[in-house]
Amino acid sequence: MADALKVGIAGLGTVGASLVKIITARTDELAVTCGRAIEITAVSARDRSRDRGVDLSNIAWFDCPETMAAEADIDVFVELIGGAEGAASKAVSTALSRGLHVVTANKALLARHGVELSVIAEEKGVLLNFEAAVAGGIPVIKALRESLTGNKVSRVYGIMNGTCNYILTRMEKEGLTFEECLKEAQRLGYAEADPTFDIEGNDTAHKLAILTTLAFGTKIAADEIYLEGISNISIQDIEAAADLGYRIKLLGVAQKTETGIEQRVHPTMVPRDSVIAQVDGVTNAVAIESDILGELLMVGPGAGGDATASAVLGDIADIAKSRPGEQRVPVLGTPAKALAPYVRARMRSHEGGYFIRLTVADRTGVFASVASRMAENNISLESIVQRANPSVQTSDSKTIILVTHATTEESVRNAVSAIKAESYLVGEPQVIRIERPKAF
């Protein structure tokens, strides 16, 4: 049997502690499966005195992760610190430059520095694995990077943030407000004290940017994503969606078009009978559409200590099974120096149409004016109805729900802007895309 693979873990939070427990408990099984033992020989964290429920007495301790990356007797550096800059970035760069393999669960780091880190890894002939960075325990990175080789991917989309999916699920099933659901998510540990990164779509955007690069062979472009979160989703929207046969999900969508790559993150209405609409709670789902395989949907736990640790361990095991001198799979599917420049596509006609909710003054001519603004922007309406909702409406206002046929983002935004200029609108309009998945 080959020499043991020596692993150093930077970050001993929920995921790091879970990883130590799993490796320690399954040492013999891993040695048989991987053809060599996996040993944790170094760790780094800020607080030595904290009880993490694992025995670290025989493991070298480093207060600084960058020092561990530079000096520890390890073969693999596991980064579980988090953050795009600072200690995580410096330590990973140091480890790769030293010729160590790296495993990370850090989507923010990869979204910001993934290409440059991939260049270092490929020049040094080492692996940079990051399955846990996107969709937790779902093996979507390996699927795109290895399993779908030869396929031409046309679209990748999915539910990639458990916090948002939990909130939207609770709102629908229990009739709670967004604020009530967010508070409960924070109590249960699903949402941070400052939940902005999750609920405004940034977390999903980072994951989507990584998947886009793997799917289409372009440079990572996390700043080129149309971004909209869920903080403005109301009970009215949830109820209207249900009446129309839809559920609301926060989706990340990347697709190749004739003008470039389109990336967007936003609340979306999906048909209630579609598979992706049934994905509830903190569960994630990623769908891939390609020319040879067709449609592939992967569903599983998107977060949590054990789910993330499982994905990290899978990456470590892949390294343990590899042998010096063998051909490495490019970190991002395509060699880093061969990645094409990212070209942002024009927002094209959206096949699923749009849901538009307007609260307006209850007076003659409003329906006709709304319809006229739509017609002026070449928007065909599938339906336009007044929705009774006494709990939120006053006696002198009413809610109008519009569902459009396929149209462009620009046309919808122009029409809504024109309506906002009218004197009859009360409050802000709500606009939500409708997606009708091909097979899900």
- Please state the pTM of the whole predicted model: 0.91
Q: Compute and round to an integer the Cα radius of gyration of the chain.
A: 24
Mean pLDDT of 65-92: 96
- CA angle (69 as vertex; 93, 137 as ends), nearest 5: 75
Q: What is the pLDDT of residue 349?
A: 65
Mean pLDDT of 234-256: 94
Q: Please report the domains of the chain, with CATH numbers, ordered by start residue.
A: 5-137+305-338 (3.40.50.720), 142-300 (3.30.360.10), 349-434 (3.30.70.260)
Q: What is the pLDDT of residue 394?
A: 54
Residue 179 has pLDDT above 70, yes or no: yes
Query: Which phi-psi region, left, alpha or beta, contains residue 221 (left: φ > 0; alpha: ψ -120 to 50)?
Result: beta
* Mean pLDDT over each residue of the chain, to the nearest integer: 91
Pick from 311, 283, 285: nearest CA to 18: 311
Torsions phi, psi of 170, nearest 5?
Answer: -65, -40
Mean pLDDT of 4-8: 96
Q: What is the pLDDT of residue 52?
A: 82
Residue 136 has pLDDT above 90, yes or no: no
CA distance 48 to 63: 8
Chain position carrying tokens 């669960």: 105
pLDDT, tens digit, for every residue of 90-119? 999 999 999 999 999 999 999 999 999 999
Mean pLDDT of 210-216: 97
SS (H, E, C) the chain: CCCCEEEEEECCCHHHHHHHHHHHHCHHHHHHHHCCCEEEEEEECCCCCCCCCCCCCCCEEECCHHHHHHHCCCCEEEECCCCCCCHHHHHHHHHHHHCCEEEECCHHHHHHHHHHHHHHHHHHCCCEECHHHCCCCCCHHHHHHHHCCCCCEEEEEEECCHHHHHHHHHHHHHCCCHHHHHHHHHHCCCCCCCCHHHHCCHHHHHHHHHHHHHHHCECCCCCCCEECCCCCCCHHHHHHHHHCCEEEEEEEEEEEECCEEEEEEEEEEEECCCCHHHCCCCEEEEEEEECCCEEEEEEEECCCHHHHHHHHHHHHHHHHHCCCCCCCCCCECECHHHCECCCECCCCEECCCEEEEEEEECCCCHHHHHHHHHHHCCCCEEEEEEECCCCCCCCCEEEEEEEECCEEHHHHHHHHHHHHCCCCECCCCEEEEECCCCCC
CA distance 373 to 371: 6
Residue 259 has pLDDT above 80, yes or no: yes
Residue 288 has pLDDT above 60, yes or no: yes
Residue 348 has pLDDT above 70, yes or no: no
Chain position carrying tokens 């190749």: 256
Residue 388 has pLDDT above 80, yes or no: no
pLDDT band at 306 (very low <50, low <70, confident <90, very high): confident
268-285 in b/e burial notation, b at 16+ Cβ within 10 A? bbbbeebebbebbebbbb
Residue 439 has pLDDT above 60, yes or no: no
Residue 389 has pLDDT above 60, yes or no: no
Pick from 276, 330, 322: nearest CA to 299: 276
Pick from 61, 59, 51: nearest CA to 17: 51
Contact 424, 260 (CB under 8 A): no
Mean pLDDT of 24-52: 92
Give yes or no: 207 in active site: yes
CA distance 282 to 163: 6
CA distance 321 to 316: 9
Which is the catalytic residue, given 142, 207, 249, 398?
207
53-84 in b/e burial notation, b at 16+ Cβ within 10 A? ebebeebbebeebbebbbebebbbbbbbbbeb
Q: 48: exposed, middle or buried (C-beta count within 10 Å: 0-12, 13-18, 19+)? A: exposed
Mean pLDDT of 60-64: 94
Mean pLDDT of 177-195: 89
Reading the block at residue 93, the tokens are 């760069």
Q: What is the pLDDT of residue 305?
A: 80
Q: Which residue has the higher pLDDT, 95 or 187?
A: 95
Contact 214, 149 (CB under 8 A): no
Chain center to CA of 211: 9
pLDDT band at 21 (very low <50, low <70, confident <90, very high): very high
How far apart are the two ends of the chain, measured CA to CA in Å?
45
Q: What is the pLDDT of residue 191?
A: 83
Q: What is the pLDDT of residue 258?
A: 87
Residue 143 has pLDDT above 60, yes or no: yes
Contact 241, 355 (CB under 8 A): yes
Contact 333, 156 (CB under 8 A): no
Query: Which phi-psi region, left, alpha or beta, contains residue 228 (left: φ > 0; alpha: ψ -120 to 50)?
Result: beta
